[in-house]
Amino acid sequence: MMNNVIKIEGLDCANCARELEEELSKIEGVKSVTVDFMAQKVYADCGGDALEKIKSACNNFEEVKVVEEYKGAGEKIKITGLCCANCARELEEELNGTEGVTATVDFMNSCVILNAQSPVSREKAVYKITHFEDVKIDEGRPVKKSAVRAHLKEIISIIISAVFFIPALALELTVAGNSVLLTAVTYSLYGVAYLAAGYKVLWLTLKNISKGKIFDENFLMTVASLGAIALGIFAGDGFMEGVAVMLLYQTGELLQGIAVGASRNSITALMDLKSDTATVIVNGETRVIAPEEIKAGDVLLIKAGEKIPVDCVIVKGESSLDMKSLNGEALPRDVKAGDEILSGCINLTGVIEARALREYKHSAVAKILELVENSTAKKSKPEKFISKFAKYYTPAVCLGAIITASIVPTVICAVGGTFAWAVYSEWIYKALGFLVISCPCALVISVPLSYFGGIGRCAKFGILVKGSTCLDELAGAQTVAFDKTGTLTEGKFAVKSFSSERALELASGAEKFSSHPIAEAFAGIAGSEVSGAREIAGRGVKCEYEGKVLLCGNAKFLREEGVEFTEKQSLSTLVYVAHGGEYVGVIEVDDRLKDGAREAVAELKKQGFLYTAMLTGDSSARAEEIANSAGIDLCKAGLLPDEKLQEAQALKAKGKLIYAGDGINDAPVMTAADCAVSMGKVGSDAAIEASDVVLVTDSLALLPKGRKIARATRRIVLQNIIGSLAVKAVIMALDLAIPGFPLIVSVIADVGVMLVAVLNSLRTALVK
């Protein structure tokens, strides 16, 4: 986790950002560092003197200067009333312009991630949040509303506007021109229709102008609609078009809000995993408490139909569990005493008693909720590009509108040698079309909405993606590497054979102090009482027994310690034992390939992976057997942690790398990988910290499914960006080329492309 965020300025090129990052990474004490060129920030995992060295290096790098420093992940403030993605960008920009404040506005999750250096800075930020358009801070638990209830005011406004607009249009097209009275009635109806649809837009425009903020969508629509009304009245054509512009715009905003709300609600429903209560058994009596009150070791009574409140192990009874909310699988899972069950599942049949393994805050359901809720905080490159693009796009098009409305007709009249109002009227009308089409909503909303949908779709199958950046890396990877134990294989070792009872007893005593999965094979076997145990990574355990050194580990370990022995040939994993420098014996332990692992690897190859590899510290013969069984191309065995890291770096040279491991022992490799995937370790903080993607269950089949969703999401994002820009460019070109090009077509195109982009984004929910 990056525990320091340093804001900088003066970093004017992406390549310079890369060079600065490279320079900072060489500073002693820096565990990891990222220079974000788009956000002009340095994220660093370091402490003490290293932080000051980073700041000094930044200040001495070309024109770069450190502006502010922030610590921690920031305060999350839930908000309501933020109805536009472009407004979210503007609010974020406004907050980041406040002294002592840095903030990220998450439109999809309706929250602000706020870092304030002092209470005064926080107070200023909160003031800006609560005084930004209709935004309010959400103090309580959000109430679920239907689409109609959530947008009731907008629906009523549009209905009222349409009720007055339709008869006004009918009068204008039939008899209004024949009577001054009927014309006045028509104009009055249009006026009411315009105010009913546009009063909120007009009010926000005035409010924002008073703050010196222009170029937002409210200002653009106000100018475009009022301009069309003024031109219509002056030309004697009425102001139907100006009213239609506002009515269509508000209708489009309503439909967009409903679509976005539907997406949010689908994620909310998906994340409805938490149990409201739990029944704990104390001294034979039951007591109902909140899940947050459960302590590790508490015995829980879970009846049929109830959700599992925390991760636990069954101590009595048997049942079937509905796992759909965790892994998307419709088939229930049968469980019995001794089986571990994850929170968020639903007990379908029998009554069971289970012992809590960990507190709620460390349970699977809490980790899932936290990951999904925070998944949009990390912005992908397309999101950052769109935010930057929107910032300059709208002012640039507005400048183009000013040139179109003033300079172009002036030049035309100058060339013609006479002033002609008709020329100015025509080009002002074209400029209004520019203003309408300059709204960046289609771009700003569709990109994060696509990622939000993709992350939510992954979560439905138990694939937890930590952000849109991680989703992009998952989509773009070309090489995949696996750890063996616990990833490709079950990771549940059992003693297969042993050369002597003494070797087994000594090994059992030593392996109790090992964190390696192989040590599980010796659980429950009576072992010798050893002391001073020390685990040596990639080798084994070194301890003392009866005053002599006891070694328990692989063949390489014993050879390095000078023990003479004959290495046994076996496809199983071998644990060698030596006591006092003398060889004692060897134990064979075995593991097996996971069900579905071969199919998962085959599916990944179909998806276009250039290389599949397995990196393991296990013996070559056993590793080769597993690799061949799984259909993996490249097998590197007998690797120490540093050697595994070197092999991963070599694979990265062939293409972006996905590495799937346990998230703990493979942390260095996972950090080096472009996309790190942790297998079935959702209850582990270490696993989540080390990985970009967490698979809730141990099913490797989730990896190709997750990549399929990621690739589909990426395609949808690119479709929305290219499609939106193409439509806007075509409309601008037609507006300039065709005399009298209808303003209403520009409005329909703008609203249409926004709706199409939003609906296209929602297609992520259909990926299977």
Which is more confidently placed, 730 or 44? Answer: 730
d(CA 361, CA 683): 9
Residue 721: CA count within 13 A, CB half-sphere: 19
Record the tokens describing residue 29, joined without a space.
Answer: 């004490």
Question: What is residue 141's predicted lDDT score, i.e. its pLDDT?
Answer: 46
- Over range 153-177, report the average pLDDT: 87
Question: What is residue 250's predicted lDDT score, i.e. its pLDDT?
Answer: 87
Q: Determine whether domain 454-489+593-711 maps to CATH 3.10.129.10.
A: no
Question: What is residue 143's predicted lDDT score, i.e. its pLDDT?
Answer: 46
- Over range 143-148, report the average pLDDT: 52
Question: What is residue 474's predicted lDDT score, i.e. its pLDDT?
Answer: 92
Record the tokens describing residue 610, joined without a space.
Answer: 């250039």
Q: Are 746 and 436 in contact (CB under 8 A)?
A: yes
When computed from its CA atoms, the radius of gyration of the chain, rounded to whole angstroms, is: 32
d(CA 496, CA 504): 11
Q: For the whole prediction, is pTM greater than 0.85? A: no
70 pLDDT more than 50 = no
Question: What is residue 49's predicted lDDT score, i.e. its pLDDT?
Answer: 77
The CATH fold of domain 494-590 = Calcium-transporting ATPase, cytoplasmic domain N (3.40.1110)
Record the tokens describing residue 715, joined without a space.
Answer: 């395609």
454 pLDDT more than 80 = yes
191 pLDDT more than 90 = yes
Record the tokens describing residue 705, joined without a space.
Answer: 């499914």
Q: Are 536 and 553 in contact (CB under 8 A)?
A: yes
Which is more confidently placed, 327 or 662? Answer: 662
Q: Are 2 and 45 in contact (CB under 8 A)?
A: yes
Q: Which of 58-67, 145-154, 511-520, 561-570 has the lowest mean pLDDT?
A: 145-154
Question: What is residue 298's predicted lDDT score, i.e. its pLDDT?
Answer: 93
159 pLDDT more than 90 = yes
- Over range 157-182, report the average pLDDT: 85
148 pLDDT more than 70 = no
Give the type of residue at 700. Answer: L
In the structure, what pLDDT confidence band is assigned to residue 760 with cuts at 50, 70 and 90? confident
DSSP letter at 476 equals: H
Question: What is residue 630's predicted lDDT score, i.e. its pLDDT?
Answer: 92
d(CA 168, CA 162): 10
Give the type of residue at 279. Answer: T
- Give the torsion sign (CA, 225, 228, 232, 233): positive
Task: Supply the residues annotated as catalytic.
Answer: 483
In the structure, what pLDDT confidence band is assigned to residue 724 with cuts at 50, 70 and 90? confident
Q: Which of 266, 256, 247, 245 is nearest to 151 (CA)?
A: 256
SS3 label, residue 385: helix
Domain coordinates in residue numbering, the chain = 4-137, 152-267+377-450+716-739, 278-363, 454-489+593-711, 494-590
Q: Which range in 110-124, 155-169, 406-420, 686-700 is most confidently predicted, on average pLDDT?
A: 155-169
CATH number of this structure's domain 4-137: 3.30.70.100
In the structure, what pLDDT confidence band is assigned to residue 623 with cuts at 50, 70 and 90? confident
Question: What is residue 684's predicted lDDT score, i.e. its pLDDT?
Answer: 55
CATH number of this structure's domain 278-363: 2.70.150.10
Record the tokens describing residue 673, joined without a space.
Answer: 């990988």
d(CA 649, CA 84): 43
Record the tokens describing residue 260, joined without a space.
Answer: 């976005």
- Give DSSP secondary structure letters for 154-192: HHHHHHHHHHHHHHHHHHHHHTGGG-HHHHHHHHHHHHH
List pLDDT tens digits, range 567-592.
988 878 899 999 999 999 999 988 77
List pLDDT tens digits, range 269-284.
655 677 878 999 998 8
401 pLDDT more than 50 = yes
